[in-house]
Structure 1
């Protein structure tokens, strides 16, 4: 069956304003938006519970096995119980900055801000150190020891060494492009500076980058959301944005080939893959939909 909308969040349960981030974790979907709320959903988008996490927009959420972390333009990063959404603590507070991105990966919590700083906490609790990537951190992705950070013009790739008492790092590459960022296997995928082309880079064994595919004008308008996944050895990319079209791409043999699309009636800000053959998209006016293949 072609890509299609299988179910959506009920209008009575959805966010009041735009959704900025989706996370899928162990059979539950978590969403965060401009209404300052985190909401929890079953895979079929049945509403489960919510919390008023911040008084204003939540820019990003991430999750480990013990907590959800949220960041906002109120200058705080907070942590929340996974099952109850009860507040654990104000994890970080700095009224001089806006925290734009939180990302958990392999025991480290990364927090990016509007001044280009990325703070790191080991085991999601102990402050380990910070680095500056010279651009505001709107999007952030991690693959092994490589950190990808982006805003509107460049993707900064940083080589991290997190084995010592303090983080050691060096800039690996600066590549023209912008988020959203998507990593799958040894592929780094991002958008062109105008936000309409999709660029695929191969990461080789020496961690060098080689552009292997580019789709010009992949969307008619700016791409806001992207997610990439390996299902049964097949690599898939899904993209969407201002044109209200979700597109499916097959990543294979140094190429990116269109493999289906689905019109949707809202601007998409964020995407995440769920269980096999299921994609979630969310964005304008709080809408969330699940698309099945």
Structure 2
């Protein structure tokens, strides 16, 4: 089934600088970028709300049932109303730290920073700290593990979240670099250290988080991968990838491998991908552009 660019954000509404983060949550799309702004979009990329969330680049977004979270190089984590983007609270502020990633999972907020720490918040109160030894460029959570990665290794850390204090223990390391994504509950995808190959691993500790396959992203010399997004739509497990070659690619997870599912030129360097409703994908990146791609 071909991939088709369905719509683009208008020039008057798009970000002023590169987009770093996309988040699809409860039928709404959120974006954040180097301009410090956070925007709320309709499914056909009409801007519905905007806030100057930070004075520096916003690197990541996450959401709970009623709150949007943002992290920034200005050393702050902020909370907003999901529908209006009205500021609720500044969760923390530390001008000596850059917060690169936020993820929300099962009542806990995980915050990765440039000093190699993952701060965990429970009910928006600090719960504990996990040290993973290298800056956290990307972060995912698959219970009971926190996955963190920069440029050399994916660090898999087991965390226990049911006590008065956070307990953790580093479990495994997998060679690779950011980005990292989950595909359903059974697969982990990340990038090889050269930035040009996608690695598919089992998410099952019983297999030793085994590498299942390795594929080259594309055929061009300029094919560094910046973004991955895994999704389970019904019984379909799919992965989307994009980067400097401006091509959004779809991969079907079949027989513990990745099969080519088509591609489309979106005409922007891709920094972030978010999967929306069935067969809709959003990609964003250079100069503030955002596009929606449909699987026809």
Fold-level match, TM-score > 0.5?
Answer: yes
Aligning the two structures, in what range does the TM-score lie when normalised by the shorter sequence?
over 0.9
State the Cα deviation string for residues 29-56 of structure 1 (Å, max 9, x = none): 0000000000000011111110001111
Choose the corresponding residue for 2:275, options 273, 276, 287: 273
Q: Distance in 2 between matches of 1:286 and 1:205?
A: 39
CA positional deviation for 1:216: 3.1
Q: Distance in 2 between matches of 1:179 and 1:56?
A: 22
Helix, strand or coil: the match of 1:209?
coil
Displaced runs of 4 or more, over 4 A: none
Helix, strand or coil: the match of 1:206?
helix
State the match for 1:259 in structure 2: 261
Pairwise CA RMSD: 1.2
Q: Distance in 2 between matches of 1:115 and 1:204?
A: 28
State the match for 2:202 in structure 1: 202
Helix, strand or coil: the match of 1:134?
coil
Q: Is 1:245–2:250 an aligned residue pair?
A: no
Q: Which stretch has the larger CA shift, 281-290 or 93-102? A: 93-102
Q: Which stretch has the larger CA shift, 267-276 or 164-173? A: 164-173
Q: Distance in 2 between matches of 1:194 and 1:35?
A: 29
Q: Distance in 2 between matches of 1:196 and 1:214?
A: 10
Q: How many residues get paired?
A: 292
Q: Distance in 2 between matches of 1:131 and 1:217?
A: 32
Q: Report matched runs for 1:124-273 at 5 Å.
A: 125-184=124-183, 185-204=185-204, 206=206, 208-218=208-218, 220=220, 221-273=223-275
State the match for 2:30 in structure 1: 30
CA positional deviation for 1:207: 6.4
Q: Distance in 2 between matches of 1:231 and 1:67?
A: 24
Gap runs ≥5 in structure 1: none
Contact 2:217 2:225 in 1 (8 A): no
Q: Distance in 1 between matches of 2:103 and 2:134?
A: 17
TM superposition score normalised by structure 1: 0.97
Q: Distance in 2 between matches of 1:272 and 1:60?
A: 12
State the Cα deviation string for residues 141-197 of structure 1 (Å, max 9, x = none): 001111110111111011111111111111111111011111022101100011110
Contact 1:239 1:248 in 2 (8 A): yes
